[in-house]
Structure 1
Amino acid sequence: MESVDEFLEVADEFMQQESLNIARAREQISVVKQNVLLIETLRRALEDQIKTDIEELISDKQESQQSLLKQEQQLRQEMESVKRKNMELSAGLAEREQEKAGLKEEREQLSEERERQENETKVNIPIRKEEISLYTCISKIRWDFNTPKHEVKGYVSRKGSVKPFCFDNRKTSQFFITNALWDAMQEN
């Protein structure tokens, strides 16, 4: 019987050990369950945080995209405005270039005309002086050139007599003045 008693003792020890093992296993299972619940809670909290972060990123991205779209639209409008202004300035520049070319051509023509007149004057002044001197000798009329433009003034000198004249060409006709001067020349 001793072996049965020993066997029972061993079995009893084994059962106690098994009970202890089961109790430890239950404690470990309880700890594992608690850890699983804690992990599940943390996982949910992390998922919620990740969802919130993703939503914020999406919102920030959308705001950023909207801001970029507004900036792009503003830049396009500014670019169109600059293009229009550039076209206006280019057209204005072309007009100024044409005006400049026209003014340059006009200046050249005026220079040529001035040069022509100077040459003509250099040639004609002596001729005109000669003609005036000849007419003065023939007609004996001395003109007063220091009078207003509307006055014809001077004197006629013939054979020792001097006859002054003064006419206002605003009040007297050219025909009358001419006849009066012819008469004055013939009287002497």
Structure 2
Amino acid sequence: MSGDQDEDFQESLDTLVAISRAQPDRLNQVENEQKAFFDRMTATRETVTQILKDMVQEEESMGQMLADKEEERKLREKEMESLDEELSQLTAKSQMMDSELEALQSELEGLRSSDNELTVLQNEIEDDTTEVIPSAIHVAKLYSLITKIKWDYDTEPHILKGVHYGPDLVSPIHIDTSATSRRDIADQLWNFVSSEW
């Protein structure tokens, strides 16, 4: 108790003693009023204590909610960083694919140019040739020059036979056309042709 409360309490006791000597009924009334006052004070104290507990609990709840929100914000930041990194990787990959596409288009243009040059060369050979060469033999020789394949024409009609003279390796060719599709035959033969000019 503080000093002021002690003095108030002492004055109340002195007043009670004085009243009890002079008026016993008044003492009972004062005791009842004092009991009612203490009951109200106790109820008020309990109410205030409960309010304070509720406030502390609310503050703890708000603090936890703030901590949860901060954690959620950090997770969102990490997700955003991850998405930014993924976007950067995809952008780089897209740029690389664009470069590859440009290179392939350039290579295609080169192949078209080579095809045109071969056509011009074929036309010049046809124009410059003084003796008559049958078309099939001429085309076979042209293909032989391009593909570096020498065909064996003394075989059964359904057998393709020959030899490919590669830069480092000589490879025999033996394909049964009755058991192999035209596409597979074309794929096998194109595998022998070098794409380097």
TM-score by length of 1: 0.52
**1:30-85 superposed Cα distances (whole Å, 9 cap, x missing partner):** 44323322221121111211121112112112211221222122111111111111
Structure 1 spans left out of the alignment, 5+ residues: 1-21, 135-144, 154-168, 170-188
Computed over aligned residues only, the root mean square deviation of the Cα atoms, in angstroms, reads 3.6
What is the SS of the residue equivalent to 1:149? strand
1:22-37 matched pairs, under 5 angstroms: 29-37=30-38
The higher relative CO (CA closer than 8 Å, separation ≥ 6) is in 1
SS of the residue 2:150 aligns to: coil
CA distance in 2, matches of 1:105, 1:117: 18
Q: Give ranges in structure 2 of 5+ residues lacking alignment.
A: 1-22, 134-139, 141-148, 155-162, 164-197
Cα deviation for residue 86 of structure 1 reads 1.0
Letter in 2 for 1:39: R
Alignment deviations for residues 104-149 of structure 1 (CA, whole Å, 9 cap, x no partner): 222222222222322332332343xx34549xxxxxxxxxx7xx82
Q: Which residue of 1 is the match for residue 49 of structure 2? A: 48
1:5-84 counterparts in 2 under 5 A?
A: 29-84=30-85
Which secondary structure does the structure 2 equivalent of 1:90 belong to?
helix
Q: Percent identity?
A: 15
Deviations 1:128-184 (A, max 9, x none): xx34549xxxxxxxxxx7xx827699xxxxxxxxxxxxxxx9xxxxxxxxxxxxxxx
What letter matches 2:60 in structure 1? Answer: S
Q: 2:50 is matched by which residue type in structure 1?
A: Q
Give the paired residue count: 124
Higher mean C-alpha deviation, range 26-35 or range 88-97? 26-35
Distance 1:71 1:30 in 2: 60
Taking the aligned partners of 1:125 and 1:34, their CA distance within structure 2 comes to: 133
Deviation at 1:87, TM superposition (A): 0.9
Pair member with larger Rg: 1
